[in-house]
Amino acid sequence: MEHKDKAREYQAIRRRLTLFHLALTPALLVILVASGWTFLMRQNAVALTGSSEWRVVAVYFVLFSLFFLIFDLPLSFYSGFILEHRFGLSNQSFAAWLWDTAKKTLLSFVLSLALLECLYWIIRAEPLRWWLWAWAAYAFVSYILGKVFPVLIVPLFYKYGKLEDKELEGKVLKLAARFDMPVGNVYSINLSKTTKKANAAFMGIGKTKRIVLSDTLISGFTHPEIEVVVAHELGHYKHHDVWRLLAFGLFASLLAFAAGFWGMNRSVAWLGLSSAADIAGLPLLFLIFYIVNLVLTPLTSGYSRRRERAADIFALKALGDRDVFISCMSKLGEQNLADPEPPAWYEWLFYDHPSIGRRIGMAKDWKSDEK
C-alpha cells in the first residue's frame, strides 16, 4: 500500500507540472504578442544584423529561445532532477543532469533554427502555398529524423551494447527470428546512467530499425518477463507502427500548417506585420500550431494507445502466458512508479500507453484461444 501511495503522489505531481506547462507555453506566446516584445526583438535583430533575412531570423530566434529558457529551465530542473531524486528514481548527479540538459538544449536549438530558417525561406518564396510546401519539408525531415534518431541522436546520451546474458540473448534472438526481425537489431542501452526506471522501445526506419532494452529492464526482470517486453516491441515491428504513427502525425501536422496559413493571413493587418514572412509573427504562428496540436491531442493519444494495446495482444498471443505478462506489467508499474489507475480524463487526454491497470485488466480478460 505504501508503494501505491508513493506512485500516486509522484504521478499527481507530474500531472500538475504537465498542466502548468500546458498553460504556461501559450501564455508566454500571448505575452510576446500582446506586450509588443516580439516587435522589439525583431527590431533588435535587424539592428544587430542589418537587412539579411536569414540573420534576422537567427538572431530573433536566439532572443525568443532565451525568453523561453528563463521559464523552462527551472521547470526542467524541478521535474527532471529534484522530483526524480525525491522519489528515488534518478541516478544522476547535478553535473551530469546539467550536462545532458545543455546537450539537449543545444541540439534542440540547432535543429529548430535550421527548420525555422527553412520555413521562413519557404514563406518568402511561396507566399500563397507556403503551408503545403512547408508541410512537405516537415514530412521529409520527420522521415530522416526517424531514420537517424537511433544511430545519431541516442548515442549522444546513452551507449548501445549487445545482450551479455547469453541465455537471454538466445531466447531474444529466437523470438526475433520467429517473427522475421533481423537478429542483429536487438540492443541493450545503459539507461541506468540516468534513472532507475525500466524501459524498452522499437525505433528507427528501414535499416536503422531496432529493439532497444534498457539495462534496468534486463537486470530487474526475469527472462520470461523480458520476453514479454520483446514480444510487445515485435508487435510494433510486425504491425508497422512506426509508419502508422508517422502517417498519423503527418496528417495532424498538415492540419496545423493549414491552420497556420489561414490564421497568419487574417492576422497580418491587425498585428501590424509586414507579411506572413515577418519573423515578429512567429509567436502567433507557434500559438496556432500549439492550439491545433492541443485540440488533436486526444486523437493522437488515443491512436497511440490503440497501437500499444495491439502490441500487448500480439505479445500475449506470441507467448501464450498471461500470468507472465501480468507479472511484467506489475513490475514495470512498480519500478517506474506508474499510477495503476490515473484519472480517466487525464489518461484520455495525455497517455500514449494504456495505464498499467488497464493493461493488466486486458490480460486478465484475455483467453489463449482468442484470434
What pLDDT is attached to residue 368? 66
Per the structure, how many domains does the chain have? 1
- Evaluate whether residue 54 is within a structural domain: yes
pLDDT of residue 183: 62
Q: Quick check: is 173 in a domain?
A: no
**Residue 50 is assigned to a structural domain of this protein:** yes
Q: What is the pLDDT of residue 369?
A: 55
| H runs (alpha helix) in 196-281 | 215-220, 223-238, 241-265, 268-271
List of residues 6+ apart from 158 with CB closer than 8 A: 189, 190, 191, 193
Ordered per-residue pLDDT tens for the chain, 371 residues: 477 889 999 999 999 999 999 999 999 999 999 999 999 999 999 999 887 899 999 999 999 999 999 999 999 999 999 999 999 999 999 999 999 999 999 999 999 999 999 999 999 999 999 999 999 999 999 999 988 988 899 999 999 988 888 898 888 888 888 888 776 778 899 999 999 999 988 888 878 888 889 999 999 999 999 999 999 989 999 999 989 999 999 999 999 999 999 999 999 988 999 999 999 999 999 999 999 999 999 999 999 999 999 999 999 999 999 999 999 999 999 999 999 899 999 999 999 999 999 999 999 998 765 54
Label residue 52 left, alpha or beta by phi (over 0 means left) and psi (-120 to 50 means alpha).
Answer: beta
Evaluate whether residue 361 is within a structural domain.
no
Any domain includes 315: no
Residue 114: domain span = 2-156
Give the pTM.
Answer: 0.91
Q: Is 86 part of any domain?
A: yes
Residue 106, exposed/middle/buried by CB under 10 A (0-12, 13-18, 19+)?
exposed
Q: Specify the pLDDT at position 185.
A: 75
333-338, long-range: CB within 8 Å, 24+ apart, which pairs? 333/7, 334/3, 334/7, 335/196, 335/197, 335/198, 335/216, 335/220, 336/89, 336/197, 336/198, 336/199, 337/6, 337/7, 337/10, 337/11, 337/87, 337/89, 338/7, 338/11
Kindly state whether residue 28 falls inside one of the protein's structural domains.
yes
**Is residue 129 in a domain?**
yes
